[in-house]
Structure 1
């Protein structure tokens, strides 16, 4: 279901409401921003997350004001954005960016089922670095008591994507200014071992690129 919350009025040709477009953008992101409102005061929080089917999951401290509010079950808006390129036009007005973005709406839910919590923690870890969950100590009972997992079922969502090059007006094409695209991407650099390591451990295959 899509309502006025996800209706695209500005350049709707760049938008989509299908899972085939929305889910890959969510699955590629390391961080989302969650906005909510308390007594008329808006808040927005960046956090790691994962998607399992049509539900988003986040985790944090049981002492967090943010998580305590979400545990009550509140309406939230979740946003993810990638900037894939800077569009440098001859005209300042025609400058733009290539991007992929998703905006989703849902009502938060405290996860109380143990199996669901464990699956969410595994998938959040794997979203940050695939292969890491099997290569780390899992949370113990004390750590789990300090951790809250929140689910956000996606009630409706929209994606918006811009690709391509410069869209200068025809009368600006002869202007003596460079125009083109500056591609941008998230780049992983050479891993740096922890200085406090007691023994050397070989670099895992999933970090070798």
Structure 2
């Protein structure tokens, strides 16, 4: 990281950002062409779980290239000034990378969906019920995180 003064080194703060963030942006690449997409996600034990349809552009790309980069941010706020060149943003962010794998067994999908659902609701894991049809129509992308870093600006 170029700006060491903005680097977040505290693993607990990095995990807090991952837990609080509402959207995870994933970056993929195929044939030298980048593709980025915002996703719903869950995080647990150094693994990201991404909720997806069973087909589409990102799935086609991941079947050919499982390398993935991701970004989340929280507490974003515009900082203004009388001088337009002094405008900026306050934020806390996390960027990481890893390998993506598809979870297609029912038990694995239920565990991952519990993590995702607990993130977006007030319920705890293991308190959700899923129909077989719903589980069949969803694909879970599991990202085993290999590298991760945090960055802060204005905090």
With the length of structure 1 as denominator, give the TM-score of the two structures.
0.66
**Structure showing the higher strand proportion among its residues:** 2
Q: 1:46 to 1:77 in 2, by over 3 A?
A: same
SS in 1 for 2:118: helix
Structure 2: gaps of 5 or more residues: none
2:144 maps to 1:159 = no
Structure with the greater alpha carbon radius of gyration: 1
**1: CA distance between counterparts of 2:63 and 2:114?**
20
The answer to whether the 8 A contact 2:43-2:49 is kept is yes
Counterpart of 1:123 in 2: which secondary structure?
helix
CA distance, structure 2, for counterparts of residue 125 and residue 12 of structure 1: 35
Change (3 A) 1:130 1:72: farther
- Aligned structure 1 segments of 4 or more residues deviating by more than 3 angstroms: 132-136
The answer on 1:53 being equivalent to 2:39 is no
Contact residue 102 and residue 160 of structure 1 kept, 8 A: yes
User: Alignment partner for residue 61 of structure 2, among 59, 69, 77?
Assistant: 69
Within-5 A mapping of 1:29-48:
29-48=21-40
Root mean square deviation of aligned Cα:
2.2
Superposition deviation, residue 127 in structure 1: 1.3
| 1:100 to partner: Cα distance | 0.8
Moved more, 90-99 or 144-153: 90-99
Task: Name the counterpart of 2:71.
Answer: 79
Aligned residues: 155
1:88 maps to 2:80: yes
